[in-house]
């Protein structure tokens, strides 16, 4: 059963550009010869490492997205492990994440978008006029009654 994987590996910083291209082509050939398919290969360039790896502080990052069986991925990982030029690598299965994102996108597409809702007309959105009685001060008798009420003792 073919699944989608991302394989990122870091090549030694002292490797020449021609050697790097040759190494990438070799791994791509291993994938295609094993029955896999390469979706994309991205040379991310020379970057600083988060920590020292095999006495190197930086390296060339390469990201390959492949469609392959688990046995082929195991073989690619074995080749990465024994390659002298590769100082670090990681393989991540991403097909489950792609399925989850497609499901979320489908749900979002079926919902009504806010921009599609009808807009409220200006007459309905205008506030009601303020009645003068609502803003008039309270009658003097009401104020006097509140002031005359005995205060309750605190418990």
List, run by run, the mean pLDDT of 10-residue segments along the chain (155 residues): 94 95 96 96 96 95 96 96 96 90 90 62 57 56 56 53
Q: What is the dihedral of CA 22, 40, 49, 14, to 10 degrees?
A: 10
CA torsion sign for 64, 67, 72, 73 is positive
pTM of the shown model: 0.66
Question: Tell me, what's the pLDDT at 110?
Answer: 87
* Highest CATH level, class, for 3-101: alpha beta
The residue to which tokens 């020449």 are assigned: 16
Alpha-carbon span 140 to 146, nearest angstrom: 10
Question: Tell me, what's the pLDDT at 98?
Answer: 85
């Amino acid at each position: 059963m073919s699944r989608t994987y991302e394989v990122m590996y870091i090549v030694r910083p002292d490797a020449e550009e021609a050697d790097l291209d040759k190494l990438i082509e070799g791994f791509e050939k291993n994938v295609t010869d094993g029955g896999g398919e390469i979706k994309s290969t991205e040379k991310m360039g020379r970057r600083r490492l988060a920590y020292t790896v095999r006495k190197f502080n930086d390296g060339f990052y390469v990201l390959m997205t492949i469609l392959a069986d688990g046995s082929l991925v195991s073989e690619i990982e074995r080749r990465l492990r024994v390659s002298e030029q590769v100082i670090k690598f990681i393989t991540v299965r991403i097909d489950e994440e792609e399925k989850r994102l497609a499901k979320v996108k489908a749900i979002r597409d079926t919902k009504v978008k806010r921009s599609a809702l009808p807009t409220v007309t200006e007459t309905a959105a205008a506030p009601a006029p303020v009645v003068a009685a609502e803003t008039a001060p309270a009658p003097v008798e009401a104020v006097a009654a509140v002031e005359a009420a005995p205060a309750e003792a605190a418990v």
